[in-house]
Each structure stands twice: as C-alpha cells, then as structure tokens.
Amino acid sequence: MKIRVMVIDDSAFSRRTITKMLEGLPGIDVVGYAINGEEGIQKIIALKPDLVTLDLEMPKMDGFTLLRILTARFSIPVIVISAQNQADKVFKALELGAFDFIPKPSSAASPDLLMIQGDLHQKVLQVMNNKTRIPFCQAGILPDSVKGDLTSFTATDVNLAVDVVAIGASTGGPPALQRIFASFEQSVPLAIVVSQHMPVGFTHAFAERLNRSSTFSVKEAEDGDPVRPGHVLIAPGGKNLTFDVQGNQVIARVKQPDPTERYIPCIDVMFESCAAIYQSRMIAVVLTGMGNDGSRGIKAVKKHGGYIIAESNETSVVYGMPREAAATGLVDKIVPLQQVAKEIMIKSSLL
C-alpha cells in the first residue's frame, strides 16, 4: 500500500521540486498540494493523507497554526522543510508536534533544493515504518497509558555515584531532551553531554533554546570546553564530541567525523570516549531515534562498569535506537521518557 503525501508550501518552485523528489520514491503517492495552512486543512480533510510536508512561513495561515490544528484534531505526521535561518522556529514546530525537519539549502528558489532528496527519502521512510505512532513527547500531552511520576527533583549534598550523563538521541530527540531537562527543579551536580543527530547550523540555536528553559547551563560544545557539573554540552551539528584529560580537568574535543560514519554527531563515538575516561562513574542514555547508533557505544560503557538507560517503546517517537540498545542485553533500565530524569537521580544517589 502506498503512503499518501500532501505538500504544503507557498512557493510554487518548492512545491514542484518536493513533489518530484517524493514521486521518485517507491511506495509514495503525492495526492495534492496547498499554498497555505488554510487551504492545507481543507485538503487534508478531503484527501486524508498519511503524511504532510510543511513550510512554516506562509500567508493566511502559517505552519505553526496548522500544526496546532493537526495536533488537536488529526494523527498525521508532519515533516517540516524550512530554511536554516529559521532554526528556532523549527524547534518550536517540533514542540508543537512535527515528526522531524529538513533544512533547505537556501531560502530562495534554487536548484540547490534537490540536495535534500536523500534526507527527504530517509525521513519519509521513517514515517512509513512508524506511521501509527503518536508520541506524547511532541504534542506535549501525556496519554493515560504513560502518565506517571513527573515530580521535579532537587539535588542534595551527598557523595555522587556518577560524574557524567551521556545522552544520545535522534528523531524525536529535541522535545524529549527538553522534557528531561525540565524535570530537574534546580541544576544538579552532574555534567551532561549530548549527541543529537542534527545538521550543521541548528545545534547552536537548539542549545540556546534548552538553556532558556533549563536550570542547567546549556551550550553548543566548543573544542576545549571543560566538562563541569551543572553544565550541558551539545555536540555541534556535523561534528563528533569526544573527551580528553588535561591535568585534573576533562575537556571536550570537537572532531570531524570519519567518512564511514552514517549518523552525525555519532553517539557511539561519544559513548566510547566518555566511558574510557569516566568508567563506572557515568550513565549512558539512549533515547528515541532510527537506526542503531549507540548500540556499539554502550558495549564500551558496560565494559568499563557504567550504567545504561534506554527509552521504552511506549514513548519513543521512533523505537529504533532504544530497541537496538536493548537487543544487546546490556541495558540496565528501560523506562518511559518521563521517568528518565528520576532514574538518573536514583543512580547518581541524588534521590
């Protein structure tokens, strides 16, 4: 059965180009297009697509208003296709319920748009493999099946069992990370490092957005940054985050990825580097995402005595990376997203 797609974009060039790229994918049927959110709603009701691609800046009804309506009334995954200079708007869209996003190479009509074809095909395949999943973490609503203890946690003066928490995420990761950090009532004496699969040009805005809503100090990692309690370092898009020891200080190293690495920033690379330094005093967390990034890295974590948490199927936007991690038999705890922060606190002797 073919997946039915609707393209919503006010640019005629973008509509034609995106439609052409989608029609080149087996199993895809582009059933229609719309030039703004208002027309989009009407056609979604009439044509009942399985997937929508969406521009954010449109006349009459913009993409944000459309997303709010889709979240409230429909169960249709949305892939945002937006210019790189709209990074903060992209994260707002993800919080409103977008499945994922693809950056346009240029905000102007340009043949460069064809450069997103591989990324577009990959994202659509993710939707095809996960089209029945409606993740609570993106809509911001907790269904009864996953409601649990959402208490905020407060640090106490104790000897910590853990120095660093290393978190890996992909599709669905931005709102999931925001939810985890928001679970802490105040900054706790843990260092946190994050590898979130994300393209170049977005991680700086992502880190700033997390910093505004978190009690931690969050920033995009730069080479030489110290890994410190109460601080979060986000791996830069298109680069890998590793670590080194200088005197009595652990510092971040930002490195070019190996050409053979499929997922960037690479979670495996971050986990392996972190485990070699922190050994038993680290927690590795594998969140939502497609593929198997992280499953090799947790072997190094376990070898050095670290603790491993994976997000459960019930809250993962894409239960790929957590499933592959669990399949290794090395995961210590599998929990829904809203319990990840609590599990970190328990293992760190902060609860």
pLDDT tens-place string over residues 251-286: 999 999 998 888 999 999 999 999 999 999 999 999
Secondary structure of residue 347 in the 3-state scheme: helix
**What whole-number distance in Å separates Cα of residue 81 and Cα of residue 51?**
13
Q: Average pLDDT, stretch 321-341?
A: 96
Distance CA 107, CA 84 (A): 8
Chain position carrying tokens 């929508």: 52
Tell how far CA 138 is from the center of its chain. 10
Residues ≥6 apart with Cβ < 8 Å to 23: 30
Range 145-347: architecture per CATH: 3-Layer(aba) Sandwich (3.40)
Q: Which of 43-47, 107-111, 145-149, 154-158 has the weakest average pLDDT?
A: 145-149
Could you tell me what percent of the chain has a pLDDT over 70? 89
**Catalytic residue (one of 11, 14, 170, 295):** 170
pLDDT at 71: 78
Is 50 a residue of the active site? Answer: no
Dist. CA 47–CA 6, nearest whole Å: 9
List where CATH 3.40.50.180 sits in the chain: 145-347
- What distance in Å separates the CA atoms of residue 82 and residue 215, rounded to the nearest whole number? 29
Q: Nearest to residue 333, comparing CAs of 349, 311, 301, 304?
A: 311
Active site residue: 183, 197, 214, 268, which one? 197
Between the ranges 86-90, 134-138, 245-249, where is the mean pLDDT highest? 245-249
pLDDT, tens digit, 9 for 90 and up, residues 155-209:
444 456 899 999 999 999 999 999 999 988 877 899 999 999 998 888 999 999 9
pLDDT digits (tens, 9 = 90+) for 283-303: 999 999 989 999 999 999 999
> What is the rounded CA–CA span in Å between residue 336 and residue 178?
15
- Are 52 and 78 spatial neighbours (Cβ–Cβ below 8 Å)? yes
CA distance 324 to 286: 10
Catalytic residue among 293, 295, 312, 348: 293
Kindly report the pTM of this predicted structure: 0.86
Instruction: Give the model confidence (pLDDT) of 136-152 as tens digits.
Output: 444 334 344 433 444 44
| Bridge-based pairing state of the strands 240-246 and 249-255 | antiparallel
Percent of the chain with pLDDT over 90: 56
Residues of the chain with CATH 3.40.50.2300: 3-132
Please provide the DSSP assignment of 278-300 as one string: HGGGEEEEE-SBSS-TTTTHHHH
Confirm whether 304 is a catalytic residue: no
Asked if residue 104 lies in contact with residue 86, where contact means CB atoms within 8 angstroms, the answer is no
**Residue 27: band (very low, low, confident or very high) from pLDDT cuts 50, 70, 90:** confident
What is the predicted pLDDT for the residue at 109? 65
The pLDDT confidence band at residue 118, using thresholds 50, 70 and 90, is confident
**Cα dihedral 279, 288, 91, 154 sign:** negative
Q: What are the two backbone dihedrals, phi and then psi, of residue 347, each rounded to the nearest 5 degrees?
A: -65, -30
Query: Mean of the pLDDT values across residues 8-32?
Result: 89
Quickly name the fold that domain 3-132 has: Rossmann fold (3.40.50)
- Burial of 291-302, coded b for 16+ CB within 10 Å and e otherwise, reads bbbbbbbbbbbb
pLDDT of residue 108: 61
Asked about 197 being catalytic, the answer comes back as: yes
Query: pLDDT tens, 54-79?
Result: 988 787 888 888 888 887 788 889 99
pLDDT of residue 116: 84
On the question of pLDDT at 2 being above 50, the answer is yes
